[in-house]
Amino acid sequence: MSLKHFHYVFLFFALLCDGGLWLWTHLDPETAAEAGASALGAWAGWTSLALLGYGLWYLFRKSRHIIV
């Protein structure tokens, strides 16, 4: 697996985990508050958006100039 493809896989799983944390804190706020993770929900949402933006930028702009 090339470094470029590893980057795609890493971004996918980072976005999946971060989005899952955001979704969990919004769908089950009582349990998130008991675990002490309710404040992380907003951070996870913003980080998910940032990762999505970076992933799209990397996919359509940056990776075109990288040799496989």
What whole-number distance in Å separates Cα of residue 50 and Cα of residue 67?
25
Asked if residue 53 has pLDDT above 80, the reply is yes
pLDDT in tens, 7-45: 899 999 999 999 999 999 999 999 999 998 988 998 999
Q: Under a CB-based contact definition with an 8 Å cutoff, are residues 21 and 35 in contact?
A: no
* pLDDT tier for residue 54 given thresholds of 50, 70 and 90: very high
pTM above 0.85? no
Question: Residue 37, CB half-sphere, CA atoms under 13 Å: how many?
Answer: 18
Q: Under a CB-based contact definition with an 8 Å cutoff, are residues 38 and 29 in contact?
A: yes
DSSP code of 66?
S
* pLDDT for position 68: 60
Q: Is 6 exposed, middle or buried (0-12, 13-18, 19+ CB in 10 A)?
A: exposed
